[in-house]
Structure 1
């Protein structure tokens, strides 16, 4: 009886075990998955992923610097025709003499009509819009600063401003709130603003036939009947006349000098004549 050497049997057993272990190591199937495999299931996962590109950080828009950082002032001083140059408003305000008629220079040299809006701060643009609402031009910021550099004259005297000057001074108060005479500027601006509103109201009454200057007017057609008041604090050389449909005079008067007075135009009147004065309708 031939005997198989023990070492050969052991070697065979080891080889068989290695084959089993190798097969197990290469089996990547799910032990619970008994169904058929698809190509996508058999494909190995990708080792790389597509990165989402990051959006570039937007560059912030710089806030415009104040125009004051780019201008200086050439001003008439001491009422003698001389001129001085001030590099800041504070220098002008500290000057002990009278300063009037200041011109603001922009950049290098006098460039009064070349200021881009981008050079204005939010406050400066607001001032321009306040002073010139119908035509806000960045160039006008230099004009407002020129007024702001003064310490006498326009906007600072007791003389009442016109309606258009009222708006300009209102912008000066916005652009130069630290002016040493800001109270006077605001007071003059408020008084002139009242005048501007009155002029607007007067123009509205003129268009509606409730304000008349020297001329002849048809009652009920061009102007309404009612109570009319002569305009002005002192009336001189004023003639008025009320007539009927036949041209007959109902009432009239010539006033050489008088305080303001009223005239009543009845509803049956046909004409109203005014010479040397003006009247405004105040009531029916």
Structure 2
């Protein structure tokens, strides 16, 4: 694998044959790199990486090797990062099989795990943000909470006639909790952030 990195008019060429060959690239902090794999037969790790990423063409390895190189754009995630898409989770998981010692591998693996958990909660209708939701169809009954710097949050529970069963406006708080009952018809949330099971 040949990797060409550019910065400020300077070009460097790296040859990567094992995961440890990425270290000099990571140490330089390159962010504009392109990868080009030769015609050698695929190794076991490369085959597994392609399968994990959901790719089937050997040339797709170039994308995965480029993911291994990236530091600033692809691998710096903070607590404010929302989540990976399923496609991003697959691609990055495949890339990490090629460069398991990436400096941010632990953070990225944790972010992928959280993204999968969030995807499962969304599918179960137990993770949601602002909007009006039909209870039992768009949001599951249960006790939910939001945490963080909450400001100007409004929620309400409604019956079948649109009458308010319970509501609250929170000007400022660190945590808000509400129980949505199976007998509720709808739940409305505005400006609260993302509700999660308590």
Shorter-normalised TM-score: what interval? 0.7 to 0.9
Say how many residue pairs are matched: 191
CA contact under 8 A between 1:236 and 1:258: conserved in structure 2? yes
Q: Where does residue 229 of structure 1 map in the other structure? A: 145
TM-score by length of 2: 0.73
After superposition, the Cα gap between the structure-2 partners of 1:265 and 1:106, relative to the gap in structure 1 and judged at 3 Å, is closer
After superposition, the Cα gap between the structure-2 partners of 1:103 and 1:272, relative to the gap in structure 1 and judged at 3 Å, is same
Residue 213 (1) aligns with residue 129 (2): yes
Q: Where does residue 6 of structure 2 map in the other structure? A: 76
Q: CA RMSD in A?
A: 3.4
Equivalences for residues 3-42 of structure 1 within 5 A: none
- Give the Cα–Cα distance (whole angstroms) in 2 for the partners of residues 149 and 249 of structure 1: 54
After superposition, the Cα gap between the structure-2 partners of 1:98 and 1:203, relative to the gap in structure 1 and judged at 3 Å, is same
Q: 1:176 aligns with which of 86, 96, 99?
A: 99
Q: 2:178 aligns with which of 256, 263, 266?
A: 263
Equivalences for residues 47-126 of structure 1 within 5 A: 68=1, 72-77=2-7, 80-88=8-16, 93-94=23-24, 97-107=28-38, 119-126=41-48
Equivalences for residues 111-260 of structure 1 within 5 A: 119-130=41-52, 132-133=53-54, 135-149=55-69, 152-154=71-73, 157=76, 159=78, 162-164=83-85, 165-177=88-100, 182=101, 184-206=103-125, 210-220=126-136, 222-230=138-146, 232-260=147-175
- Give the Cα–Cα distance (whole angstroms) in 2 for the partners of residues 251 and 199 of structure 1: 27
The structure whose RCO (Cα within 8 Å, separation 6+) is larger is 2
- Unaligned ranges ≥5, structure 1: 1-67, 108-114
- Unaligned ranges ≥5, structure 2: none
TM-score by length of 1: 0.54
Q: Where does residue 189 of structure 2 map in the other structure? A: 274
- Give the Cα–Cα distance (whole angstroms) in 2 for the partners of residues 174 and 86 of structure 1: 19
**How far does residue 105 in structure 1 lie from its aligned partner after superposition?**
2.7
CA contact under 8 A between 1:227 and 1:262: conserved in structure 2? yes
Question: What secondary structure does 1:99 align onto?
Answer: coil
| Structure having the higher Rg | 1
- Give the Cα–Cα distance (whole angstroms) in 1 for the partners of residues 48 and 181 of structure 2: 50
After superposition, the Cα gap between the structure-2 partners of 1:254 and 1:137, relative to the gap in structure 1 and judged at 3 Å, is farther
